[in-house]
Protein backbone atom coordinates (compact mmCIF):
# COMPACT_ATOMS: atom_id res chain seq x y z
CA UNK A 1 0.00 0.00 0.00
CA UNK A 2 1.17 3.52 -0.75
CA UNK A 3 1.77 5.64 2.31
CA UNK A 4 1.99 8.91 0.37
CA UNK A 5 1.36 9.50 -3.32
CA UNK A 6 1.47 12.47 -5.68
CA UNK A 7 -0.57 12.27 -8.89
CA UNK A 8 0.28 14.97 -11.45
CA UNK A 9 0.67 17.53 -8.67
CA UNK A 10 1.50 21.11 -9.67
CA UNK A 11 1.66 24.33 -7.66
CA UNK A 12 2.11 28.04 -8.37
CA UNK A 13 2.64 30.79 -5.82
CA UNK A 14 1.18 33.31 -8.28
CA UNK A 15 0.35 33.68 -11.96
CA UNK A 16 3.79 35.17 -12.52
CA UNK A 17 5.72 32.45 -10.68
CA UNK A 18 7.18 29.32 -12.21
CA UNK A 19 5.16 26.12 -12.05
CA UNK A 20 6.19 23.58 -9.42
CA UNK A 21 5.83 20.06 -10.84
CA UNK A 22 4.07 18.16 -12.23
CA UNK A 23 5.08 15.43 -9.83
CA UNK A 24 3.83 11.85 -9.90
CA UNK A 25 5.57 9.72 -7.29
CA UNK A 26 4.64 7.36 -4.48
CA UNK A 27 6.20 6.23 -1.23
CA UNK A 28 5.39 2.67 -0.15
CA UNK A 29 4.12 2.36 3.40
CA UNK A 30 6.97 1.72 5.82
CA UNK A 31 9.67 3.40 3.69
CA UNK A 32 12.21 6.11 4.55
CA UNK A 33 12.64 8.48 1.59
CA UNK A 34 15.09 11.39 1.47
CA UNK A 35 14.57 14.54 -0.61
CA UNK A 36 17.85 15.95 -1.86
CA UNK A 37 18.72 18.85 -4.13
CA UNK A 38 20.23 22.34 -3.89
CA UNK A 39 18.60 25.28 -2.14
CA UNK A 40 15.44 26.34 -3.96
CA UNK A 41 14.94 22.91 -5.53
CA UNK A 42 11.43 22.63 -4.07
CA UNK A 43 11.99 20.21 -1.18
CA UNK A 44 10.19 22.31 1.44
CA UNK A 45 7.36 23.10 -1.00
CA UNK A 46 6.81 19.38 -1.58
CA UNK A 47 6.66 18.76 2.17
CA UNK A 48 4.21 21.63 2.68
CA UNK A 49 1.98 20.22 -0.05
CA UNK A 50 2.08 16.78 1.56
CA UNK A 51 1.15 18.32 4.92
CA UNK A 52 -1.75 20.24 3.29
CA UNK A 53 -0.19 23.55 4.33
CA UNK A 54 -0.36 24.37 0.62
CA UNK A 55 -3.11 23.39 -1.81
CA UNK A 56 -2.04 22.02 -5.21
CA UNK A 57 -2.91 24.07 -8.25
CA UNK A 58 -3.73 20.79 -9.96
CA UNK A 59 -3.39 17.08 -9.27
CA UNK A 60 -4.06 15.01 -6.18
CA UNK A 61 -2.14 13.97 -3.08
CA UNK A 62 -3.24 10.88 -1.17
CA UNK A 63 -2.41 9.52 2.27
CA UNK A 64 -2.75 5.75 2.60
CA UNK A 65 -5.05 5.60 -0.40
CA UNK A 66 -7.31 8.53 0.51
CA UNK A 67 -7.12 12.02 -1.06
CA UNK A 68 -6.12 14.61 1.52
CA UNK A 69 -8.56 17.05 -0.08
CA UNK A 70 -11.36 14.86 1.28
CA UNK A 71 -10.04 14.86 4.85
CA UNK A 72 -10.79 17.21 7.70
CA UNK A 73 -7.82 18.81 9.52
CA UNK A 74 -8.44 16.46 12.47
CA UNK A 75 -8.35 13.41 10.20
CA UNK A 76 -5.07 14.54 8.61
CA UNK A 77 -3.57 15.21 12.03
CA UNK A 78 -4.08 11.56 12.95
CA UNK A 79 -2.21 10.43 9.84
CA UNK A 80 0.64 12.89 9.33
CA UNK A 81 2.93 14.83 11.64
CA UNK A 82 5.52 17.42 10.68
CA UNK A 83 8.90 18.20 12.21
CA UNK A 84 9.70 21.76 11.05
CA UNK A 85 13.03 23.55 11.30
CA UNK A 86 11.63 25.83 14.00
CA UNK A 87 8.46 26.54 15.98
CA UNK A 88 6.98 29.86 17.06
CA UNK A 89 4.53 29.87 19.96
CA UNK A 90 2.38 32.70 21.23
CA UNK A 91 2.99 31.62 24.80
CA UNK A 92 6.19 30.72 26.63
CA UNK A 93 5.41 27.02 26.97
CA UNK A 94 7.48 24.53 28.89
CA UNK A 95 9.06 21.64 27.03
CA UNK A 96 6.54 19.10 28.30
CA UNK A 97 3.66 21.36 27.24
CA UNK A 98 5.08 21.62 23.72
CA UNK A 99 5.34 17.83 23.46
CA UNK A 100 1.76 17.53 24.75
CA UNK A 101 0.59 19.58 21.76
CA UNK A 102 1.22 16.48 19.68
CA UNK A 103 -1.65 14.74 21.48
CA UNK A 104 -4.29 17.28 20.43
CA UNK A 105 -5.17 15.19 17.38
CA UNK A 106 -6.25 12.36 19.68
CA UNK A 107 -8.27 14.42 22.18
CA UNK A 108 -11.97 15.12 22.04
CA UNK A 109 -11.84 18.90 22.25
CA UNK A 110 -15.59 19.05 22.86
CA UNK A 111 -14.87 17.56 26.26
CA UNK A 112 -12.37 20.21 27.20
CA UNK A 113 -12.50 19.47 30.91
CA UNK A 114 -12.21 15.71 30.56
CA UNK A 115 -9.19 14.27 32.41
CA UNK A 116 -6.09 13.38 30.43
CA UNK A 117 -5.91 9.61 30.11
CA UNK A 118 -2.93 7.47 31.18
CA UNK A 119 -2.44 6.53 27.51
CA UNK A 120 -1.91 10.18 26.58
CA UNK A 121 0.52 10.71 29.45
CA UNK A 122 2.42 7.55 28.49
CA UNK A 123 2.70 8.68 24.86
CA UNK A 124 4.17 12.03 25.95
CA UNK A 125 6.57 10.41 28.42
CA UNK A 126 7.79 7.82 25.90
CA UNK A 127 8.31 10.49 23.23
CA UNK A 128 10.40 12.63 25.58
CA UNK A 129 12.45 9.65 26.72
CA UNK A 130 13.13 8.51 23.14
CA UNK A 131 14.42 11.95 22.16
CA UNK A 132 16.34 12.62 25.36
CA UNK A 133 14.41 15.71 26.47
CA UNK A 134 13.10 14.34 29.78
CA UNK A 135 15.88 16.02 31.73
CA UNK A 136 14.74 19.51 30.72
CA UNK A 137 11.00 18.90 30.54
CA UNK A 138 10.33 21.81 32.92
CA UNK A 139 12.44 24.36 31.04
CA UNK A 140 10.82 26.98 28.85
CA UNK A 141 10.93 26.17 25.15
CA UNK A 142 12.13 29.70 24.31
CA UNK A 143 15.24 29.19 26.46
CA UNK A 144 16.46 26.11 24.59
CA UNK A 145 19.35 25.92 22.17
CA UNK A 146 18.61 25.18 18.54
CA UNK A 147 19.58 21.53 18.94
CA UNK A 148 17.52 21.06 22.09
CA UNK A 149 14.49 22.69 20.47
CA UNK A 150 14.77 20.41 17.44
CA UNK A 151 14.69 17.33 19.66
CA UNK A 152 11.58 18.68 21.38
CA UNK A 153 9.87 19.11 18.00
CA UNK A 154 10.63 15.48 17.16
CA UNK A 155 9.22 14.45 20.54
CA UNK A 156 6.04 16.37 19.76
CA UNK A 157 5.72 14.51 16.44
CA UNK A 158 6.36 11.15 18.13
CA UNK A 159 3.68 11.91 20.73
CA UNK A 160 1.27 12.58 17.86
CA UNK A 161 1.87 8.94 16.86
CA UNK A 162 1.00 9.15 13.17
CA UNK A 163 1.90 6.62 10.46
CA UNK A 164 3.51 9.35 8.29
CA UNK A 165 6.32 11.70 9.34
CA UNK A 166 7.43 14.72 7.29
CA UNK A 167 10.86 16.06 8.26
CA UNK A 168 12.26 19.36 6.95
CA UNK A 169 16.06 19.45 7.46
CA UNK A 170 15.55 17.97 10.95
CA UNK A 171 19.22 17.91 12.01
CA UNK A 172 20.14 21.40 10.83
CA UNK A 173 20.72 22.62 14.41
CA UNK A 174 22.05 19.40 15.92
CA UNK A 175 25.63 18.50 16.76
CA UNK A 176 26.98 15.33 15.07
CA UNK A 177 26.18 13.07 18.01
CA UNK A 178 22.57 14.15 18.37
CA UNK A 179 22.13 14.19 14.58
CA UNK A 180 23.20 10.56 14.42
CA UNK A 181 20.88 9.64 17.29
CA UNK A 182 18.01 11.48 15.59
CA UNK A 183 18.45 9.66 12.28
CA UNK A 184 18.91 6.28 13.97
CA UNK A 185 15.70 6.88 15.92
CA UNK A 186 13.78 7.69 12.74
CA UNK A 187 15.24 4.61 11.06
CA UNK A 188 14.10 2.49 14.03
CA UNK A 189 10.57 3.91 13.73
CA UNK A 190 10.52 2.82 10.09
CA UNK A 191 11.98 -0.64 10.75
CA UNK A 192 10.06 -1.55 13.90
CA UNK A 193 6.83 0.50 13.73
CA UNK A 194 6.53 0.65 9.93
CA UNK A 195 6.35 4.44 9.88
CA UNK A 196 6.49 6.15 6.49
CA UNK A 197 8.98 9.02 6.38
CA UNK A 198 9.68 11.76 3.83
CA UNK A 199 12.67 13.88 4.82
CA UNK A 200 14.27 16.90 3.15
CA UNK A 201 18.00 16.65 3.82
CA UNK A 202 21.10 18.51 2.68
CA UNK A 203 24.00 16.36 3.89
CA UNK A 204 24.97 13.99 1.08
CA UNK A 205 27.62 12.42 3.31
CA UNK A 206 25.00 10.85 5.59
CA UNK A 207 21.62 10.75 3.81
CA UNK A 208 22.49 7.53 1.99
CA UNK A 209 23.33 5.81 5.27
CA UNK A 210 19.76 5.91 6.55
CA UNK A 211 17.24 6.29 3.70
CA UNK A 212 15.75 3.44 1.69
CA UNK A 213 15.36 5.68 -1.37
CA UNK A 214 16.25 9.19 -2.53
CA UNK A 215 14.39 11.70 -4.70
CA UNK A 216 16.65 14.18 -6.46
CA UNK A 217 14.89 17.52 -6.92
CA UNK A 218 15.80 20.56 -9.01
CA UNK A 219 13.73 23.60 -10.01
CA UNK A 220 10.48 22.14 -8.73
CA UNK A 221 10.93 18.79 -10.47
CA UNK A 222 11.79 15.29 -9.26
CA UNK A 223 14.58 14.46 -11.69
CA UNK A 224 15.39 10.99 -10.42
CA UNK A 225 14.35 8.43 -7.82
CA UNK A 226 15.99 5.22 -6.69
CA UNK A 227 18.08 3.60 -4.00
CA UNK A 228 20.91 5.71 -2.53
CA UNK A 229 23.61 3.84 -4.45
CA UNK A 230 21.95 4.60 -7.79
CA UNK A 231 21.00 8.22 -7.14
CA UNK A 232 24.23 9.33 -5.45
CA UNK A 233 26.32 7.82 -8.26
CA UNK A 234 24.30 9.58 -10.97
CA UNK A 235 25.93 12.19 -13.21
CA UNK A 236 22.94 14.42 -12.40
CA UNK A 237 24.28 15.08 -8.89
CA UNK A 238 27.26 17.29 -9.87
CA UNK A 239 25.11 18.94 -12.54
CA UNK A 240 22.32 20.12 -10.22
CA UNK A 241 24.69 21.01 -7.35
CA UNK A 242 27.15 22.64 -9.77
CA UNK A 243 30.14 21.12 -8.00
CA UNK A 244 32.13 17.92 -7.92
CA UNK A 245 32.03 15.24 -5.22
CA UNK A 246 34.23 12.44 -3.95
CA UNK A 247 32.40 9.09 -3.86
CA UNK A 248 33.10 6.99 -0.77
CA UNK A 249 31.62 3.96 0.98
CA UNK A 250 30.98 3.81 4.70
CA UNK A 251 33.68 1.58 6.24
CA UNK A 252 31.19 -0.64 8.09
CA UNK A 253 27.90 -0.54 6.18
CA UNK A 254 29.49 0.10 2.75
CA UNK A 255 26.64 2.49 1.98
CA UNK A 256 27.37 5.48 -0.31
CA UNK A 257 28.71 8.81 0.90
CA UNK A 258 29.44 11.97 -1.07
CA UNK A 259 31.99 14.51 0.16
CA UNK A 260 33.26 17.77 -1.29
CA UNK A 261 36.76 17.31 -2.73
Model confidence at 90: pLDDT above 90: no
Model confidence at 162: pLDDT above 70: yes
Residues 26 and 102 reside in one and the same domain = no
Cis peptide before 22 (omega within 30 of 0): yes
Instruction: Give me Rg for the CA atoms of the chain.
Output: 19
Of 144, 161, 178, the position where a domain reaches its end is 161
Model confidence at 92: pLDDT above 90: no
119 near 161, Cβ under 8 Å? no
Residues 153 and 167 reside in one and the same domain = no
Calculate mean pLDDT across residues 63-86: 91
173 near 150, Cβ under 8 Å? yes
Say which CATH number the domain at 192 has. 3.40.50.300
Of 106, 134, 161, the position where a domain reaches its end is 161
Confidence of residue 174 (pLDDT cuts 50, 70, 90): confident
Model confidence at 211: pLDDT above 70: yes
What is the domain count for the chain? 2
Q: Which of 74, 73, 85 is nearest to 153 (CA)?
A: 85
CA distance 228 to 161: 27
pLDDT score at 121: 87
Half-sphere exposure at residue 72, Cβ-oriented, CA atoms within 13 angstroms: 3
Write out pLDDT tens, residues 138-152: 999 988 988 888 889
Write out pLDDT tens, residues 175-186: 888 889 889 989
Write out pLDDT tens, residues 102-126: 988 887 655 555 556 788 889 899 9
Amino acid sequence: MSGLSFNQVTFRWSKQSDVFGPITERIPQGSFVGLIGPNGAGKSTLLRLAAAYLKPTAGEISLFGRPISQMTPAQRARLVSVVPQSLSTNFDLMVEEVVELGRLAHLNLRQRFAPVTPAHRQAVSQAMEATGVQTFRRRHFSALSGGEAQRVLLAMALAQNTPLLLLDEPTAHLDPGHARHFLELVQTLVDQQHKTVLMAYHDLATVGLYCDALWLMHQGQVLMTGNPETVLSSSMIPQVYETGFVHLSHPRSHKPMLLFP
